[in-house]
Amino acid sequence: MRKKSKEKVTTIFHTEFREDLSYWIKVDRKTAIKILELVEAIVRNPFEGIGKPEPLRYLGNGVWSRRITQEHRLVYVVKDDQINFVQCRYHY
């Protein structure tokens, strides 16, 4: 599924992702804004763009990460027309 399309994409934000984002909003708003920019970019194109998208093959098919900072990564899973945002703090 490496296509750019204008189809509707379902986004799911896992509990851990929401908790991580809440943490960043309290601790470092600049990082929280970067995460939201990454989410927008991922919804537009899950496989290309900012944050150096990288497939995490050893974690399963469709699992990707993007760099938030040198230490932290945003991890998401792409399946058909659905994107699951898993975490946005620490490494995978």
- Which residue ranges form the domains of the chain, and what is each CATH number? 10-87 (3.30.2310.20)
Confidence band of 1 (pLDDT split at 50, 70, 90): very low
**Distance separating alpha carbons of residues 26 and 88, to the nearest angstrom:** 14
List the structure tokens of 39: 């989410």
Set 19, 40, 48, 54: catalytic member: 54
Q: Is 54 a catalytic residue?
A: yes
Of 22 and 3, the structure prediction assigns the larger pLDDT to 22
Q: Is 37 a catalytic residue?
A: no
The answer on pLDDT for 6 being more than 70 is no
What is the value of pTM for the model shown? 0.88
Work out the percent of the chain whose per-residue pLDDT is above 90.
Answer: 83
Tens of pLDDT along 46-91?
Answer: 999 999 999 998 888 999 999 999 999 999 999 999 999 999 998 8
> Residues 36-50: what's their mean pLDDT?
97
The answer on pLDDT for 92 being more than 70 is no
Helix (H, G, I), strand (E, B) or coil at 66: strand
**Distance separating alpha carbons of residues 19 and 28, to the nearest angstrom:** 14
Residue 23: other Cβ atoms inside 10 A? 14
